[in-house]
Chain A
């Protein structure tokens, strides 16, 4: 939303005036990430991760387009073209490592961004649409990352493709034809590799489109903030430029340091050694694990070991894995608490931290071999996961007594006395 006190775009140069009449892109930028976008002054560093996520998307698209210049989606040569890129192409090793670790960085940033949303209630009205689009982006990211991991055609690529498409065979009646349709064959081969490549190239641009919608939807109510109290007056906000440009700018630097340290010094730390072995359809690796960012959901998938009622365990696992993310779509309507921010919700806050811990446990179990005690632990952790979203959140939001909220962002930042001084300015607005 453009608050009444937001600065207006007033081009002074004749060319910019002409541009503003014909194609007002500078105005759009000014109002989106420039001086015309008023943002709460009290955002903490967790609010930098949205911007960083956008940066990761750009990084992945740029390095990805370059990888595609040197890659061939053919099972006979796919593995070799990647190796050739690493060895012979100028800076090819950098492009490859930046792209592979870029995917990990993207997920690190996105998980922090999502959990920021959980804690501060960013999904609540009036920002439900922002949240829904965000979950769509996350699903698209997972699909893109999964297909990208198949492309090098290493052992984990192949068996990952086989196992994940195998999930669809759990669906009653249409499962097996569906899996065959997805793969274009009975097992992953050229047809699958080629379509995965095609979609892996396409989906990031779809993500980019949804990201634009996500930002658009965000700009209607404006950014949320750590108090969860809506913006009331001019003293609550600062213009995005220069304030948050400077803050995001130095955050990019900090992010780049960590990212480059990984790319240049530990480029294979997050990868799996087996993916440096060319795909072999005749021999399965000792334990198949997906990339680390899927581990929590992989743990949920594997947690269902027993048929339940009339539903086979395999189908339950698939339902639960997808359900674990689908449930996020309903979050704005499951959490009825009028208070947005976890900072003022003592009971919710405790469960939030249990959820964080729970996710870490699921993470650990998903990366571990499917053996005891990991399976039992993951069953308890998955149990909490579903209980958290579907049972605890609705109940907590009904029974909790929230802490008193500050009157405004300004009061939260400056204290009540200063707010009193500024109050007259706010009065007409109220």
Chain B
């Protein structure tokens, strides 16, 4: 009996030692994995301020937000009207222009310039670029067309162009992110 206990105690120590080695192994893996996630300087640069004072109605600019293009567009009254005419329930990703802009600033349409299909940059923000048949943006990769509220209307993209979190710091400066 005493013999059996001795054996059990020894086994226990061996198992404990191997387990401790296992824990150490996991502990080593943690920094090895987490070193790949975004570093402090990348995270710190995760908000952008854009000066919108020089954007005339009907024009748009491309700014950079988190290393990706963001479209800032000053809609004309006609474009706003066109966007509001659409029956929301008929849309693939139902949203109104109001929901996609800030109150009192409905003419400022700020969206990511990243097609929700496979991530190409749609055309339509730069001067002279085609805006597609719905007058918003047109993605040349696979033919997705967005309307004047940057909502998906035609083509393979599943969602409207994403609206990032932003706020107006002043009337002419938008802080994105």
Contact = CB atoms under 8 A, between A and B. Distances in A.
Contacts of A87: 40-41
B2 interface: no
B21 A88 contact: no
A90 interface: yes
A347 interface: no
A249 B41 contact: no
Interface residues of A, number: 16
Interface string B9-44: 000000001000100100000011011110111100
Interface string A136-166: 0000000000000000000000000000000
Contacts, number: 36
Nearest to B36: A69
A91 B21 contact: no
A266 B24 CA distance: 22
Nearest to A62: B32
Given A249-B17, A249-B21, A90 B31 contact: yes
Contacts of B40: 87-90
Nearest to B18: A249
Nearest to B24: A256
Nearest to A67: B35
Interface of B: 17, 21, 24, 31-32, 34-37, 39-42
A369 B12 CA distance: 56
A66 interface: yes
Contacts of B34: 90-91
The A interface, classified by DSSP as helix, strand, loop or mixed, is helix
A94 B39 contact: no
Contacts of B37: 90
Nearest to B34: A90
A8 interface: no
Given A70-B35, A70-B39, 6 more contacts: A87-B40, A89-B35, A95-B31, A95-B35, A249-B17, A249-B21
A91 B39 CA distance: 10
Given A249-B17, A249-B21, A89 B39 contact: yes
A92 interface: yes
A198 interface: no
Contacts of A69: 35-36
The secondary-structure label for the interface of chain B is helix
Interface in A67-83: 69-70
Nearest to A250: B17
A90 B33 CA distance: 9
Interface of A: 62, 66, 69-70, 84, 87-92, 94-95, 249-250, 256
Given A249-B17, A249-B21, A66 B39 contact: no
B67 to A, nearest CB: 16
B31 A91 contact: yes
Contacts of B36: 69
A66 B17 contact: no
Contacts of B42: 88
Nearest to A59: B28
B35 A90 contact: yes
Contacts of A250: 17
A72 B31 CA distance: 21
Contacts of B39: 70, 84, 88-90, 92
Contacts of A70: 35, 39
A83 B85 CA distance: 56
A256 B24 CA distance: 11
20 contacts: A62-B32, A66-B35, A69-B35, A70-B39, A84-B39, A87-B41, A88-B39, A88-B40, A88-B41, A89-B35, A90-B37, A90-B40, A91-B31, A91-B34, A92-B39, A94-B31, A95-B35, A249-B17, A249-B21, A256-B24
